[in-house]
A and B are shown apart, each in its own frame.
Chain A
């Protein structure tokens, strides 16, 4: 097979259909960037969940007898506290637990808040029981078993803070994947149109090639290479855009301002780019294979 001819056809094809190829590249670029963002956000959600999930504890605050406490009728009695502890120990989802006295709570809060600490005595603090679950996702089962027991003031888990963060990440993830999917559909249609136009523009050459006995592969190779070239450019642009997002968005901004969070890193970026490097060529080469069989049938 003469590659010289194939590459000269490829060059001509790219030039002849330049505007269509640019449209395919741009659509691929935007759709792959969105898909890549979706993949990165998915990694981010997993990282956040793993990090906070492993630290997730439920804190059961016990009544301290202060006036105006909702759900309390005076300070927790020993019998009530023992009932709570019994309920925790009997709960199969609990990994371990420890008790924090009013004095310890007072000291820790004072240390944490420094000059802003306004509480006058340990009696104003709640004694509490800190429970670690075997699986953080089971926190509801632990909370519900103690929430209504007498002497329990309230139950708090970090989930209450994290849930909105998770749903925001999820919204962005599904949003970018959804829009990406629509754009991928647009890219597929553009690829189909490009092939149709290219096959029409080359109908005379193709007709002669068929007559003189050129193989199907030989006839469709320039089309497949064109599809591959547009995919490679689309993937390269999308990888560049994701790289810029990683550097300027994550590395320079979010990582600096929200230091306590674990952020997606270079390996996650590489993973997303690897996905794009598979999806991009599939998006252009597969329909080209199908359509060249249809339009260039020998």
Chain B
């Protein structure tokens, strides 16, 4: 589903590479944690998948497409197959929960009937049934992150990328979010989550890819946050 082949990414004006010879293969339906200190290259890794950047060298394949060669006008189509969730939720404060989720469908041209069907379905999946008409600031942090996940998942993407989704949440809310991501993963969606939350990684016992100074230093199938050795 996601394949990095000897990927190097150096930003313009920088001498040190943000990613250095990274080769990783993530299968369809996998749940993968991406760990590493700030500046280790996690964000660059995720941004390359979203085709916000092109790699300096090497190849990145996402959902069967080599994104180096993907024309700019085809990028939106790629992104429709990837849902993205951030630490800061990125909700539109003037729109209700349902409108925030529906917005993702509206702007890619889905019909009103599809929106009316998919939005309540997805809100139920994330446990927000009955809160469709609330505004984001009437919700708790955990609930706001659920709205963001609903928005990322409403189009049923093949890949869900979560960049520190529990970074702003208390432990209880974090557990709820992780259960939700696990449920989404069980529907066959590949989940890639960048995190600093050691307890979550340790509890879930999923595949862990650790980056350090832009290099993959660990790739374990049922790993924990820190190095086991």
Residues in chain A within 8 A of chain B (CB atoms): 1-2, 5, 204-205, 207-216, 218-219, 298
Contact = CB atoms under 8 A, between A and B. Distances in A.
B107 A5 contact: yes
B90 A208 contact: yes
Most chain B beta carbons < 10 A, residue from A204, A208, A219:
A208
Interface string B63-85: 00000000011011111110010
B76 A216 contact: yes
A148 to B, nearest CB: 75
B72 A212 contact: no
What 6 pairs between A and B have smallest CB-CB spacing? A213-B80, A213-B79, A214-B107, A212-B104, A213-B76, A215-B76
Nearest to B90: A208
B155 interface: yes
Interface in B72-114: 72-73, 75-81, 84, 90, 92, 103-104, 106-112
Interface string B162-174: 0000000000000
A213 B154 CA distance: 13
A5 B76 contact: no
B50 interface: yes
A218 B107 contact: yes
A298 B72 contact: yes
Interface of B: 50, 72-73, 75-81, 84, 90, 92, 103-104, 106-112, 151-152, 155
A208 B76 contact: no
A218 B80 contact: no
A212 B90 contact: no
A212 B73 contact: no
Contact of A211 (B50, B106, B109): B50
Nearest to A219: B107
B79 A210 contact: yes
A199 B76 CA distance: 19
Given A2-B112, A212-B104, A214-B107, 5 more contacts: A210-B79, A212-B152, A213-B76, A218-B107, A298-B75
Nearest to A298: B75
Contacts of A209: 107
Contact of B92 (A208, A211, A216, A298): A208
A144 B112 CA distance: 83
Nearest to B83: A212
Contact of B109 (A2, A205, A208, A219): A2
Contact of B106 (A2, A215, A219): A2
Contacts of B50: 211
Residue of B50, B76, B111 ringed by the most chain A CB atoms within 10 A: B76
30 contacts: A1-B109, A2-B111, A2-B112, A5-B106, A5-B107, A204-B90, A208-B90, A208-B107, A209-B107, A210-B76, A211-B50, A211-B79, A211-B84, A212-B79, A212-B107, A212-B151, A212-B152, A212-B155, A213-B76, A213-B79, A213-B81, A213-B108, A213-B155, A214-B107, A215-B76, A216-B76, A218-B108, A218-B109, A219-B107, A298-B75
A238 to B, nearest CB: 35
A218 B77 CA distance: 13
A208 B88 CA distance: 13
Contact of A214 (B78, B92, B108, B151): B108
